[in-house]
């Protein structure tokens, strides 16, 4: 299969003994043989896992960055004053429409990340339950399964698709002792009219009444998700630490012997 991740090697004692010494003997193998030796190492497999998980994470975090960059434009008072001018109603509507589009992308990417992780782990590890000796599934259950904030963002895509576009408005704060701030607010009463929310999401939404600062909520959720994804990478590195170290040594030797690679 050509999906960027090599087939799962059996981590036998013979494979664990594969080392960079195979690349540096008196009889130097061809570059193809040397490369295939690298790719047969368990450490290569572990790094392929990490690379795939980072790509999955970026789908979500990249959309979060796009959304937050759009909101950040209005934190500049000069830009905001032009945008909020009463003679620029169309410009303001266009700004909110773009925020709505980017929020949709965040909602879609939330579910995509969940689905991609599940498919990836089932395809290459057999099940999510066995990954990292069960620690992955336990942490998912503890931190996300019944968490209202997570269930809200998980359900937001279906709210977009099966109910209506969320009602949003801007909230501007300015005062002699406060910096200029602009927040995008979702009307909680409108959100709660949909009967498709998970019960935990409904409870969480009620704590946001009357209006949710969606930028702040996304910031908080993205930090949690990012911390979880980093934990997965750290656990893989710990589990395969010896294999990764051996692979890195072999890779250095490969580039020393074959500086042009292939």
pLDDT digits (tens, 9 = 90+) for 102-116: 999 999 999 999 999
* Domain annotation covers residue 14: no
* Domain annotation covers residue 107: yes
According to DSSP, residue 2 is labeled -
pLDDT digits (tens, 9 = 90+) for 82-135: 887 888 889 888 998 999 999 999 999 999 999 999 888 887 676 677 778 888
Task: Supply the range of the domain harboring residue 239.
Answer: 29-257
* Domain annotation covers residue 50: yes
Residue 72 and residue 33: Cα distance in Å, rounded? 51
pLDDT of res. 232: 92
Total of domains in the chain: 1
Confidence class for position 3, pLDDT limits 50, 70, 90: very low
Residue 8 and residue 19: Cα distance in Å, rounded? 18
Nearest of 201, 211, 52 to residue 131 by alpha carbon: 52
* Domain annotation covers residue 196: yes
* Domain annotation covers residue 22: no
* Domain annotation covers residue 76: yes
For residue 186, count other CB atoms closer than 10 A to its CB. Answer: 19
Q: Is 186:168 a contact under the CB 8 Å cutoff?
A: yes
Q: Name the pTM for this structure.
A: 0.82
Nearest of 169, 170, 171, 174 to residue 77 by alpha carbon: 174
């Amino acid at each position: 299969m050509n999906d960027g991740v090599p087939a799962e090697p059996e981590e036998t004692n013979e494979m664990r003994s594969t080392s960079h010494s195979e690349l540096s003997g008196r009889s130097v193998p061809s570059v193809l043989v040397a490369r295939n030796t690298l790719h047969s190492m368990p450490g290569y497999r572990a790094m392929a896992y990490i690379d795939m998980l980072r790509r999955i994470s970026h789908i979500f975090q990249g959309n979060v960055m796009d959304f937050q960059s759009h909101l950040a434009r209005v934190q500049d008072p000069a830009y905001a004053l032009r945008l909020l001018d009463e003679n620029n109603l169309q410009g303001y509507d266009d700004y909110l429409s773009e925020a709505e589009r980017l929020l949709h992308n965040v909602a879609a990417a939330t579910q995509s990340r969940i689905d991609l992780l599940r498919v990836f782990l089932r395809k290459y590890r057999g099940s999510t339950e066995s990954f990292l000796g069960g620690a992955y599934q336990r942490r998912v259950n503890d931190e996300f399964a019944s968490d209202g904030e997570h269930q809200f963002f998980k359900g937001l895509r279906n709210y977009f698709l099966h109910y209506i576009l969320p009602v949003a408005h801007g909230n501007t704060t300015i005062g002699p002792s406060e910096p200029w701030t602009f927040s995008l607010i979702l009307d909680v009463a409108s959100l709660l009219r949909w009967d498709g929310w998970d019960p935990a999401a409904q409870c969480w939404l009620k704590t946001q009444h009357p209006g949710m600062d969606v930028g702040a909520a996304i910031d908080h959720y993205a930090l949690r998700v990012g911390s979880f994804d980093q934990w997965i990478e750290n656990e893989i590195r710990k589990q395969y630490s010896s294999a990764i170290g051996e692979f890195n040594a072999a890779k250095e030797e490969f580039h020393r012997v074959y500086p042009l690679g292939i």
